[in-house]
């Protein structure tokens, strides 16, 4: 949640701060602000709402300075208004903050007793006045920040300016990510390297508890300190994120661009895991005793959780191993019975999801092995896990996940085949046919995307709906959940995904003439049962959209009463193994075009954030 940008430069930084915040908009926010130091004064501009409001403000009331910080805030403590927007400041200090200070109430009371007056309802202001108080006691900026950190409880990342140290910016991370960007005569800090991608690809990822002091002065330099206050070095790396990779190109929205990128990113991801010479899945550096495994536990949140639900079907059928799928935010509050022969797979697109990261720490404390599936190889989860598998989705800016989700499915499918082969469960001919099915998948998806105008027309029937139902059975059930989630996220239409067999156990009470029902019904081993559920929906007169293949269409038209109006979209006949990935594409397109017709903010839907770093 939230976005931080900090810049130390030989040039004026106002425009770069705004540009950096624009690239962080995807993270979700409801107010924004920047601050600079010039002539031994802190200058600040803040506004509620979208970044355009801040941009208009600084155009009419510009601020000067060659060192500055910026922030996009997703409200936790206090309403989404200008008073609660970051940066927060005193006369001496300005602070931007991601995360939550859990003990802020006690700290605030203590500071008020010392005479400090608070201007906002946020937890962040206690950081401002703690640092200010230590400065008043004669401490230098670094010492004041270090003493402040000992008082704070929670997960947070900070970037701090000082009136009386106009060449210094201090940044630190405790449970929330920060990365430095290094360039000649310019230094950056941000919650995501995407913020400064057009200016430098040379980066340094801060470790947990690290503190960075960025200095201008006679030369541009930085020093790093660990949680114990000792100077440390961290490796410099080259980021793969470029200015071009975070551009919308010719597309009207990032989400649409990312939907259409899926054939390429799935092909890239598959090639990274497949030995092209022998067509075998090769997972480098995953040194597991596959035959000893007796259970897999997949832990994730949101869309990544649905990827885990698909994988459960795969692993149980083709690898012969029991699988549990857990929501990270609930797993951490249970007392699960663990086994040394369990492989724990944690899925997180950003690699910074706070609930999933907490589970990782919990598992490692008890000596359990963890395999992380992430899209960001330098993320906190990737660095702490025993093994890492990376999706090659590239930067995903749209808040509603599309290409990251299908890339997760591609990696999980390959991991399933590897597991089945190593455990001697999957027959060689079946293994080879499933590999070929994965190889064919990008082409199948391209075919679906070439006919995207179908979904523009279908979307017209959904724009007046207040509720929608998605049904799937077997391996497409999780895709029904994902389809409903996509519709909720970006169109704000209430939607629910259900296992088709559960229709009669409650949701059928909602089905009437006004409710659209989307049924995922490929002609597979579950088709006949799904067809019965489809009949139940028809009997109640619902608006019906059926996603199927040619054999499924023939069966449906044979059995459906003549004259009943329904929409059928026909897809290529594919192996059951790849059905969930292929059938994800139409539910993404449908959600996109419905939201487009409704005029919602597709890339930055209200109240949502891309990287969920608060509990």
CB 446 within 8 A of CB 267: no
What is the three-class DSSP state of 177? coil
Q: What residues pair up with 518 in beta bridges, in sequence order?
A: 470, 545
**pLDDT of 58:** 94
**pLDDT tier at 571 (50, 70, 90 boundaries)?**
very high
Peptide bond into 81 cis (omega under 30): no
What is the three-class DSSP state of 101? strand
Can you tell me the distance from the alpha carbon of 26 to that of 45, in angstroms, rounded to the nearest whole number? Answer: 21
Q: Is the pLDDT of residue 458 over 70?
A: yes
**pLDDT of 563:** 59
Q: Is the pLDDT of residue 615 over 60?
A: no
CB 234 within 8 A of CB 204: yes
**pLDDT of 168:** 95
Q: What residues pair up with 73 in beta bridges, in sequence order?
A: 31
CA distances for 177 relative to 384, 499, 510, 614, angstroms: 13, 37, 43, 12
**pLDDT tier at 385 (50, 70, 90 boundaries)?**
very high
Of 219, 216, 215, 193, the residue nearest 204 (C-alpha):
193
User: pTM, whole model, 2 decimals?
Assistant: 0.81
**pLDDT tier at 378 (50, 70, 90 boundaries)?**
confident
Note the pLDDT tens digit of each residue in 466-516.
999 999 999 999 999 999 999 999 999 999 999 988 888 888 888 888 889
**pLDDT tier at 578 (50, 70, 90 boundaries)?**
very high
What's the farthest any 2 CA atoms get from each other in the chain? 86
**pLDDT of 344:** 95
**pLDDT of 306:** 98
Q: Is the pLDDT of residue 592 over 80?
A: yes
Phi-psi region of 614 (alpha: psi -120 to 50; beta: other; left: phi over 0): beta
Which DSSP symbol is given to 376?
A: -
Q: Taking residues 584-611, what's their average pLDDT?
A: 90
Q: Is the pLDDT of residue 611 over 70?
A: no
What CA dihedral angle connects 456, 461, 462 and 464, to 10 degrees? Answer: 130
Q: Is the pLDDT of residue 402 over 70?
A: yes
Helices (H), 392-544: 403-422, 428-450, 453-459, 477-491, 527-538
Q: Is the pLDDT of residue 562 over 80?
A: no
**pLDDT tier at 282 (50, 70, 90 boundaries)?**
confident
Which range of 119-123, 341-345, 402-406, 505-509 scores highest in mean pLDDT? It is 402-406
Question: Token pair of 296, please?
Answer: 């897999």
CB 591 within 8 A of CB 455: no
- Mean model confidence pLDDT for the chain: 90
Q: Taking residues 561-582, what's their average pLDDT?
A: 88
**pLDDT of 533:** 85
Q: Taking residues 386-391, what's their average pLDDT?
A: 92
CB 358 within 8 A of CB 375: no
Q: Taking residues 531-553, what's their average pLDDT?
A: 88
User: Residue with structure tokens 């997760």?
Assistant: 408
Of 20, 126, 15, 118, the residue nearest 72 (C-alpha):
20
Q: Is the pLDDT of residue 277 over 70?
A: no
Q: Is the pLDDT of residue 176 over 90?
A: no
Q: What residues pair up with 172 in beta bridges, in sequence order?
A: 158, 211
Note the pLDDT tens digit of each residue in 32-61.
999 999 998 999 999 998 899 999 999 999
Of 396, 420, 418, 423, the residue nearest 407 (C-alpha):
396
Burial class (CB in 10 A: 0-12, 13-18, 19+), 447: middle
**pLDDT of 506:** 85
Can you tell me the distance from the alpha carbon of 541 to that of 302, in angstroms, rounded to the nearest whole number? Answer: 32
Residues involved in catalysis: 2, 610
How far is Cα of residue 176 from the mean position of the Cα atoms in its chain? 14
**pLDDT of 241:** 72
Can you tell me the distance from the alpha carbon of 37 to that of 35, in angstroms, rounded to the nearest whole number? Answer: 7
Which residues, at least 6 apart from 461, have a Cβ–Cβ distance to it below 8 Å? 516, 543, 545, 567
**pLDDT of 446:** 95
Neighbours of 481 (CB within 10 A): 23
Which residues, at least 6 apart from 559, have a Cβ–Cβ distance to it below 8 Å? 531, 535
User: Residue with structure tokens 């915040």?
Assistant: 21
Q: Is the pLDDT of residue 244 over 80?
A: no
CB 368 within 8 A of CB 344: yes
**pLDDT tier at 607 (50, 70, 90 boundaries)?**
confident
Q: Is the pLDDT of residue 519 over 80?
A: yes
CB 128 within 8 A of CB 90: yes
**pLDDT of 510:** 84
**pLDDT tier at 242 (50, 70, 90 boundaries)?**
low
Please name each of the domains of the chain with its CATH number.
Answer: 3-246 (3.60.20.10), 250-450 (3.40.50.10490), 451-601 (3.40.50.10490)
What CA dihedral angle connects 206, 388, 611 and 347, to 10 degrees? Answer: -150
Note the pLDDT tens digit of each residue in 197-230.
889 989 999 988 999 999 987 788 999 999 999 9
């Amino acid at each position: 949640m939230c976005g931080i940008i900090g810049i130390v430069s030989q040039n004026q930084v106002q425009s770069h701060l705004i540009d950096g915040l624009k690239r962080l908009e995807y993270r979700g926010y409801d107010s924004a602000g920047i601050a600079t130091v010039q002539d031994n004064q802190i200058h600040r501009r803040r506004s509620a709402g979208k970044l355009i409001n801040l941009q208009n403000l600084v155009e009419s009331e510009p601020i000067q300075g060659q060192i500055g910080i910026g922030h996009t805030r997703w409200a936790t403590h206090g309403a989404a208004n200008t008073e609660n927007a970051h940066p927060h400041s005193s006369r001496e200090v300005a602070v931007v903050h991601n995360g939550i200070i859990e003990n802020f109430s006690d700290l605030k009371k203590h500071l008020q007793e010392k005479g400090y007056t608070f201007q906002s309802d946020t937890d962040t202001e206690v950081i401002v006045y703690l640092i200010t108080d230590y400065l008043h006691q004669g401490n230098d900026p670094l010492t004041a920040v270090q003493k402040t950190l000992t008082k704070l409880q929670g997960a947070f990342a900070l970037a701090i300016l000082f009136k009386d140290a106009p060449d210094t910016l201090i940044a630190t991370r405790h449970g929330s990510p920060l990365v430095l960007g290094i360039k000649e005569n310019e230094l950056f800090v941000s919650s995501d390297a995407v913020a400064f991608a057009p200016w430098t690809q040379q980066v340094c990822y801060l470790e947990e508890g690290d503190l960075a002091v960025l200095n201008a002065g006679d030369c541009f330099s930085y020093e790093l300190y660990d949680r114990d206050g000792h100077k440390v070095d961290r490796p410099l790396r080259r980021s793969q994120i470029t200015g071009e990779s975070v551009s919308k190109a010719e597309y009207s929205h990032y989400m649409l661009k990312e939907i259409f990128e899926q054939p390429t990113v799935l092909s890239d991801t598959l090639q990274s895991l497949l030995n092209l010479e022998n067509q075998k899945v090769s997972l480098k550096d995953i040194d597991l005793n596959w035959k000893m495994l007796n259970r897999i536990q997949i832990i994730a949140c949101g869309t990544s959780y649905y990827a885990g639900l698909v994988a459960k079907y795969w692993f149980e059928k083709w690898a012969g191993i029991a699988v549990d799928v857990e929501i990270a935010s609930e797993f951490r509050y249970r007392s699960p019975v663990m086994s040394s022969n369990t492989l724990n797979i944690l899925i997180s697109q950003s690699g910074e999801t706070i609930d999933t990261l907490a589970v990782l720490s919990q598992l490692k404390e008890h000596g359990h092995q963890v395999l992380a599936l992430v899209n960001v190889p330098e993320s906190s989860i990737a660095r702490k896990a025993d093994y890492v598998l990376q999706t090659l989705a590239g930067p995903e800016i749209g808040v509603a996940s599309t290409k990251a989700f299908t890339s997760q499915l591609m990696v999980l499918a390959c991991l399933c085949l590897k597991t089945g082969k190593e455990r001697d469960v999957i027959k060689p001919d079946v293994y080879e046919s499933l590999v070929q099915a994965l190889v064919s998948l990008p082409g199948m998806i391209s075919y679906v995307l070439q006919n995207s105008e179908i979904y523009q027309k279908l979307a017209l029937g959904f724009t007046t709906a207040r509720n929608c139902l998605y049904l799937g059975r077997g391996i497409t059930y999780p895709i029904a959940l994902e389809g409903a989630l996509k519709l909720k996220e970006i169109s704000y239409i209430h939607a629910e995904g259900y296992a088709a067999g559960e229709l009669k156990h409650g949701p059928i009470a909602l089905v009437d003439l006004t409710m659209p029902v989307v049924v995922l019904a490929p002609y597979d081993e579950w088709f006949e049962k799904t067809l019965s559920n489809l009949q139940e929906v028809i009997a109640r007169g619902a608006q019906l959209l059926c996603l199927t293949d040619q054999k499924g269409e023939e069966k449906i038209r044979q059995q459906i009463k003549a004259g009943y109006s329904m929409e059928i979209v026909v897809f290529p006949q594919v192996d059951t193994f790849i059905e969930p990935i292929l059938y994800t594409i139409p539910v993404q397109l449908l959600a996109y075009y419905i939201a487009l017709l409704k005029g919602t903010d597709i890339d930055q839907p209200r109240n949502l954030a891309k990287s969920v770093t608060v509990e």
